[in-house]
Amino acid sequence: MTTIASQGTRTVSAPSRPDRTTRARIQDPVALAVAAATAYLEIRAGRRPARQIERLLAPVVRVELARMVYLRRHEQPPIGGISVLRVISSQPGPNILDGAVVCRDGMAVTAVAVRVEFRRGRWSITALSTPEDQAATRRRGTS
């Protein structure tokens, strides 16, 4: 730990740089859920490449994301940007965060369900979907 002198005789201790595991532990899972939800909507609409968030996703979620992009490839992307309207979260356990991120995507409003779990020293997205995803899967008969 380094000590930094300030005005007068008072000293302020600056925290030492946390190691990689500590940094992962202090990452905010709610902020991660919101970022993943907005990125998911952008990827699904074809406005962002999936590779930008793949390292945050559990393997099964990567497969589901690729399938959803494939199923929605011919749909017209919404006009306008994505804005977060509300975030609802709960922590059913110390290493799990369940969230619903309500977003405006163009003129439509949707909720993105997100599960974030702390695994192997870092937070990871283990579930990510919208109600429209289920409808798209049923419509195409790929359930």
Domains of the chain listed by start with CATH number: 28-139 (3.10.450)
Write out the two tokens for 91: 């922590």
CB neighbours of residue 24 within 10 Å: 14
Distance CA 142, CA 65 (A): 14
- Under 8 Å between Cβ of 89 and 30: yes
3-state secondary structure of 75: coil
Q: What is the pLDDT along the chain (143 residues), one digit of tens a residue?
A: 333 443 443 333 333 444 454 444 457 899 999 999 999 998 888 888 888 898 999 999 999 988 888 887 777 777 778 899 999 999 998 899 999 999 998 888 999 999 999 988 889 999 999 998 776 666 555 55
Q: How far apart are the first and last CA of the chain?
A: 54
Q: d(Cα 99, Cα 33) in Å, to the nearest integer? A: 7
Write down the pLDDT at residue 104: 92
Residue reference for tokens 């919208």: 130
Does residue 119 contact residue 103 with C-beta atoms inside 8 Å?
no
Q: How many CA atoms are closer than 13 Å to the CA of 83, on its beta-carbon side? A: 8
